[in-house]
Amino acid sequence: MQATLSPPVLRTKIPTYIYAVVFSSLCIVWGLLWDIMWHMSIGRDGLFAPPHLLMYVGAVVAGAFSGFKILQLTFAKRNPERTSSVRFWGIFYGSLGAMYCVWGALTMLTSAPFDDWWHNTYGLDVQILTPPHTVLLIGMMTVQFGAMIGVLALQNRVTSDLSADSAWAKKQAQRLKIMFTIAAGLLLSILYTMLAEKLGQWASHHSSSYITIGIAFPFYLLAVGRASSLRYPITLTAAAYMLTMLIPSWILPFFPATPRLGPVLNPITHYQAFMFPLLLVIPGFVLDKLLHRFDGGKLNDWLLAALTGTVFMLVITGVQWYFGEFLHTSPYAQNGFFFSDSMSYGEDPTWPYHHQFHPHWLQSTPDFLKGIGIAILCAIVSARIGLLWGNWMKRVQR
């Protein structure tokens, strides 16, 4: 059931908690990236290590502001926003976004003592997805999804209100569209970071990586493209994700860092940057152009998914094949902009395959083409799911 935005709500500025949860989402992403670079450069950390504190700040701010908003709507029975909220547990009222943020924040904060106990009991992690890290990632993505949905619901309500034709209303609507794009880019950053270990710069010559790309990204990008009201939402979302990923890696290497955990094979003295992200902005622009041309009833969603999924895989394959080779083998990529000379303290700098392809990473042409074919099929299904999810997001107003 869709709720109508009442005039008093329309005349009110964008709620503070909307800004707060988007800020929280940024803290979470940059805290995670800082934590990864901390492990690459320093190794040992604790419950209250600076990267962890930045993530906890994101959780606390999102939980506190969203929780206050829920209590405000619950006890202020005459608040006009209550008519466009969701009732849960029989007594509480709040937006979907606020509910997701509260649950995500609680999950994140619960994972902190769980992770500390895990380290004290079992020692250092030997893999990324340990039980406490899995709980933490679920909490992070829930907070970020809540931030995105919170902005999206308000955007949908403002843009669907027939009385929103004033200059003020248009300015608010445009601001919400931009905030939604930023929130979507931040969630995309976490999605990429979870897959980055499998999608390293050497992955351009191995089709199993393209299968992962075909599964993970079309559904998200097309959902954002259909839900947003901007002219080029996928392009801008991909640009926001790239800047989010790159800024910490451009800045932190200027600061000193000393390994605290052996063996130290590479005696570094400064933070080591994370890897350069996938160039999703290029296929994102192509997807925007395809949606401009064929969306809006011109093609049914299965045909549109077949078109967008296939084109996405062909474009990202062409882009990453050459760009991935450039990152891994070119001396022009070994600098503070592209990070190809970044190595953790545990990597042996004399290993011969740092800047050339290992034979294991290269596939025969038949195997590669077979893998790309599977990747295209996965991308088509992923795109169809994304269009379906985008239809739902386009209707969210609570």
Select from 167, 196, 225 the last residue of a domain: 196
Domain shared by 48 and 186, yes or no: yes
Instruction: Tell me if 104 sits within 8 A of 59, measured CB to CB.
Output: yes
Tell me the C-alpha distance between 391 and 154, whole Å: 16
Q: Is 281 within a domain? A: yes
Asked whether residue 392 is assigned to any structural domain, the reply reads: yes
Residues 187 and 241 in one domain: no
Taking alpha carbons only, the member of 245, 220, 246, 243 closest to residue 233 is 220
Same domain, 179 and 223: no
Nearest to 284 by CA among 245, 324, 328, 240: 240
Q: How confident is the model at residue 278 (pLDDT cuts 50, 70, 90)?
A: very high
Asked whether residue 188 is domain-assigned, the answer is yes
> Which residues, in sequence order, are CB contacts of 134 under 8 Å at separation 6+?
none
Q: Which residues in 124-149 are b (16+ Cβ under 10 Å) and which e?
A: eeeeeebebbebbbebbbbbbbbbbb
The segment with the largest mean pLDDT, out of 100-109, 190-199, 308-317, 367-376, is 308-317
User: Is residue 152 included in any domain, yes or no?
Assistant: yes
List the one residue out of 142, 15, 3 whose CA is nearest residue 72.
15
Contact present, 265 and 48 (Cβ < 8 Å)? no
Q: At what angle do helices 207-227 and 167-195 cross, to 10 degrees?
A: 160
Across the chain, what does the average pLDDT equal? 83
Lowest-confidence region among 167-176, 208-217, 316-325: 167-176
Q: What is the pLDDT of residues 369-398, one digit of tens each?
A: 898 999 999 999 999 999 999 988 887 766
Q: Does 256 share its domain with 307?
A: yes
Length of the chain: 398
Predicted pLDDT of residue 69: 84
Confidence of residue 15 (pLDDT cuts 50, 70, 90): confident
186 and 285 together in one domain: no
Task: Let me know whether 29 and 176 are in one domain.
Answer: yes
Residues 94 and 219 in one domain: no
Are residue 151 and residue 251 in the same domain, yes or no?
A: no
User: Is 263 inside any structural domain?
Assistant: yes
Specify whether 152 is located in the same domain as 261.
Answer: no
Domain ranges, residue 69: 15-196
Q: Which residues contact 257 (CB under 8 A, 6 or more apart)?
A: 38, 41, 42, 268, 269, 270, 271, 272
80 band by pLDDT with thresholds 50, 70 and 90: low
Of 37-51, 234-248, 325-339, 370-384, give the lowest mean pLDDT range.
Answer: 37-51
Average pLDDT for 259-287? 91
User: 18 near 81, Cβ under 8 Å?
Assistant: no
Report the pLDDT value the prediction gives residue 204, as an integer from 0 to 100: 67
pLDDT at 385: 95
Between CA 187 and CA 237 the distance in angstroms is 10
Looking up tokens 């390994």 gives 259
Most confidently modeled of 78-82, 135-139, 297-301, 337-341? 337-341
Mean pLDDT of 232-261: 94
Long-range contacts of 249-258 (CB under 8 A, 24+ apart): 249/33, 249/37, 249/273, 249/274, 249/276, 249/339, 249/342, 250/336, 250/337, 252/34, 252/37, 253/336, 253/342, 257/38, 257/41, 257/42, 258/42
**Is the pLDDT assigned to residue 14 strictly greater than 50?**
yes
Asked if residue 6 belongs to a domain, the reply is: no
Nearest to residue 176, comparing CAs of 184, 165, 166, 187? 184
**Listed residues 173, 196, 219: the one ending a domain:** 196
> pLDDT of 95-145, one tens digit each?
788 888 888 888 888 877 777 666 666 666 555 566 777 788 888 888 898
Count of domains for the chain: 2
Share of the chain above pLDDT 90, in %: 36
pLDDT at residue 222, rounded to an integer: 95
> Which residue from 130, 180, 211 is spatially nearest to 376, judged by alpha carbons?
211
40 and 107 assigned to the same domain: yes
Residue where one domain finishes, among candidates 142, 168, 196: 196
**136 and 233 both lie in a single domain:** no
Question: Is 85 inside a domain boundary?
Answer: yes
Neighbours of 323 (CB within 10 A): 18
Residue 223, pLDDT > 90, answer: yes
Question: Considering the domain boundaries, does residue 10 fall inside one?
Answer: no
